[in-house]
Amino acid sequence: MQQASANARTRDLATPDSASQEDVFESLLNDRFSCRSYLEREVPREVIERILSIAQRTASWCNSQPWQVLLTRGEATERFRKGMVEYVASQSADPDFEFPAKYAGVYLDRRRECGLQLYEAVGITRGDREGSQRQAMKNFELFGAPHLAIITTEADLGVYGAVDCGAYVSNFLLAARSCGVDSIPQAALAGYSPFIRQFFDIPEHRRVVCGISFGYRNPDHPANQFRTSRAKVEDTAFWFES
């Protein structure tokens, strides 16, 4: 009897509905992009709460669910935006988690490709340091987004808490897209964790992982017109069968 039930469940997983779920998931992945210009229109609170509800299903080490999400809307977003820009202008980066020591090889190639695509889209020419600095500062202006989410983890959980939060961030982005909302994950914000900690009154036992600016895309802005490439599966997955 147990075997029959197991076989039935296996057949259910192979139904056309299951295949369509794959297509929906792939479509969300293909449609999602790092949005760098937003309309002023706010996302209704019930839509944001739906995004949070979906993302909360994220898997985590020992089901620890280490993420906490701090959200802004309205005047709070504007206060954060203004304060962050002022802070960055006079302070050095001081992240809770070390940034990459360096980008080399294929990782540097991919990083450069993304940067060149962005600069070309917004009309920044090679060597235009002033233009590139202006574009970099848009990170701290939240690219004009009406909302911000700050993701933190418990310090005692170390790197695995941060990994779990990374999975949460990915699911937040996809959940947002499924609700018609666009977003961009931002490590740049976490580089200035002291300001974020003070603004949100974050306790010392929490670590800032990253920020997510989100809202409705500005479809006409050139920064939203390009899409980054992805490596081939055979360049990242390796089989061992004997």
Q: Give me 188's structure tokens.
A: 């740049």
Q: Give me 23's structure tokens.
A: 């297509």
At the topology level of CATH, where does 34-226 sit?
NADH Oxidase (3.40.109)
Burial 18-54 (b: 16+ CB within 10 A, else e): eeeeeeeeeeeeeebbbbbbbbeebbeeeebebbeeb
Residue 33 has pLDDT above 50, yes or no: yes
pTM: 0.91
Q: Give me 207's structure tokens.
A: 């670590």
pLDDT, tens digit, for every residue of 168-198? 999 999 999 999 999 999 999 999 999 999 9
* Summary count for the chain: helices (H), strands (E): 9, 4
Residue 5 has pLDDT above 90, yes or no: no
Residue 195: other Cβ atoms inside 10 A: 20
Q: Give me 94's structure tokens.
A: 């001081």
Residue 10 has pLDDT above 60, yes or no: no
pLDDT, tens digit, for every residue of 123-132? 999 899 999 9
Q: Where are the domains of the chain?
A: 34-226
Query: At 97, is the pLDDT very low, low, confident or very high (cuts 50, 70, 90)?
Result: very high
Q: Give me 84's structure tokens.
A: 């962050």
How many Cα atoms occupy the beta-carbon half-sphere of 6 within 13 Å?
A: 3
> What angle, 0 to 180 degrees and rounded to 10, lies between the N-to-C axes of helices 129-137 and 105-122?
90
pLDDT, tens digit, for every residue of 142-161? 999 999 999 999 999 999 99
Got the DSSP string for 162-177?
HHHHHHHHHHHHHHHH
